[in-house]
Amino acid sequence: MQYWLMKSEPDEVSIDDVMAAPAHTVPWFGVRNYQARNFMRDGMQLGDGVLFYHSSCPQPGIAGLAEVASVAYPDASQFEAGGKYFDPKATPEQPRWISVDVRGTRKTRLLPLAELRHIPELEDMLLLKKGSRLSITPVTPAQWDLIVARLQSH
- 81: pLDDT strictly greater than 80: yes
Provide long-range contacts, Cβ within 8 A and 24+ apart, for 45-50: 45/1, 45/2, 46/70, 46/71, 47/1, 48/1, 48/2, 48/3, 48/4, 49/1, 49/2, 49/3, 49/4, 49/139, 49/144, 50/3, 50/4, 50/5, 50/6, 50/102
Its pTM stands at: 0.95
The string of pLDDT tens digits covering residues 82-122 is: 999 999 999 999 999 999 999 999 999 999 999 999 999 99
Hey, where are the domains in the chain? Answer: 3-153
User: CATH number of the domain at 3-153, please?
Assistant: 3.10.590.10
Distance CA 87, CA 96 (A): 8
Residues, the chain: 154
